[in-house]
Amino acid sequence: MSKLGPISHFPFPVSCDSLVLQGLRCEWGAGVLNLVSSLSHFLILTGHWKFNMAPHGKELSEDLKKRIVALHKDGLGYKKIAKTLKLSCSTVAKTIQRFNWTGSTQNRPRHGRPKKLSARAQRHIQRLSLGNRRMSAASIAAEVEGVGGQPVSAQTIRRTLHQIGLHGCRPRRKPLLKMMHKKARKQFAEDKQTKDMDYWNHVLWSDETKINLFGSDGVKRVWRQPGEEYKDKCVLPTVKHGGGSVMVWGCMSAAGTGELQFIEGTMNANMYCDILKQSMIPSLRRLGRRAVFQHDNDPKHTSKTTTALLKKLRVKVMDWPSMSPDLNPIEHLWGILKRKLEECKVSNIHQLRDVVMEEWKRTPVATCEALVNSMPKRVKAVLENDGGHTKY
């Protein structure tokens, strides 16, 4: 409890403790007590009497409060409880007294400044934010002010949205799914939901990707202090025309990575057929007779030339829904490969090719196996989202 220090001009020390005031009431009566109280307020205002405030500690958790009450009910005294839980006796006493008065260990409601926005205005803000997810806080504030006539800051809008569980986040980048795409994805998931891991282990997954010489095209972050935004370690260097890149075609299965082929120039159907004969067929044969080949619905993959070649080679091709990179585990393998390449220092395209091939061959079989093992969960996620986007 806060106390007032003694007064040098008084014939006896005086404090603001409630016990002292009660003693004065009994000995001198209410009139003298009022005089002492008025004098103390005067001395505080004039600066002759100062508070000796005890430091405010951390608020106790509900579990700790309940333990204090439970130990007291078991017959332990304040000192034993304080020693057991490593707390002060006053903290234990206040917690038990509050429980005896209110019957609960929870804090009483604290009073503060009334909310500027009414419940109706908060519901209006929620409807605006849910109706247009890309609407900024400043736009919502202007809309609310135009309807209610009450000026509201953008920070108040953000605070209100945070209280109802809405936070401004970076949207995930996903392919645009039309209704026909969702139907095709759902149909694919329904057809594959009964497939066991033996089926998925015999699938050869394939895809193309671009690898930049100076890192990926994604968003990067750095740890920095105020004023360090232009230090060399805190900036992202850029070069004209991106510094160069390479296009690669690769394949993988649960047994590990397959062949990796660099693509020179712009790939067409004839070039893709050459890749299938040189790189895909050797990787597919290692999976046995039950092997199934997967590729997406890129025009080069579905051309008449490519279709005729696959039919001639008697390759079983998986029916694939468009706009479904989240169903292809090799997409995640590309991400793993690019993160490894960021740790390597390369200065030209020739070095980049060598490092890409080296890291591709060093990819552990366990990594590929783990990605393929996620296929049942991917299929289930598509069904649960009715053919929509998934977290993969």
pLDDT score of 19: 37
User: Structural domain of residue 137, as residue ranges?
Assistant: 119-164
The domain that holds 338 is classified in CATH as 3.30.420.10
In contact, 125 and 147? CB cutoff 8 Å = no
Whether residues 278 and 302 fall in one domain: yes
pLDDT score of 304: 94
Q: In the structure encoding, which two tokens stand for residue 310, read together?
A: 């696959």
> Would the pTM of this model clear 0.85, i.e. be above it?
no
Whether residues 151 and 277 fall in one domain: no
In contact, 213 and 350? CB cutoff 8 Å = no
pLDDT score of 45: 45
pLDDT score of 38: 57
What separation, in Å, do the N-terminal and C-terminal C-alpha atoms of the chain show? 57
pLDDT score of 217: 57
Q: Does 307 map to a domain?
A: yes
Whether residues 96 and 183 fall in one domain: no
Q: Does 339 map to a domain?
A: yes
Q: Does 45 map to a domain?
A: no
Q: Does 200 map to a domain?
A: yes
What is the rounded CA–CA span in Å between residue 245 and residue 349?
A: 7
Q: Does 373 map to a domain?
A: yes
Q: Does 377 map to a domain?
A: yes
Residue ranges of the chain with pLDDT lower than 70?
1-57, 215-219, 238-243
pLDDT score of 319: 94
Q: In the structure encoding, which two tokens stand for residue 379, read together?
A: 């299929």
Whether residues 70 and 128 fall in one domain: no
Q: Does 391 map to a domain?
A: no
What is the rounded CA–CA span in Å between residue 316 and residue 202?
A: 11
| Strand intervals (E) in the chain | 3-4, 51-52, 203-212, 245-253, 256-263, 292-294
**Number of domains observed in the structure of the chain:** 3
Q: In the structure encoding, which two tokens stand for residue 272, read together?
A: 């893709």
Whether residues 93 and 194 fall in one domain: no
The one-letter code for the residue type at 314 is R
Buried b (16+ CB within 10 A) or exposed e, 30-54: eeebeebeeebeebeeeeebeeeee
Whether residues 78 and 191 fall in one domain: no
Whether residues 184 and 291 fall in one domain: yes
Q: Does 361 map to a domain?
A: yes
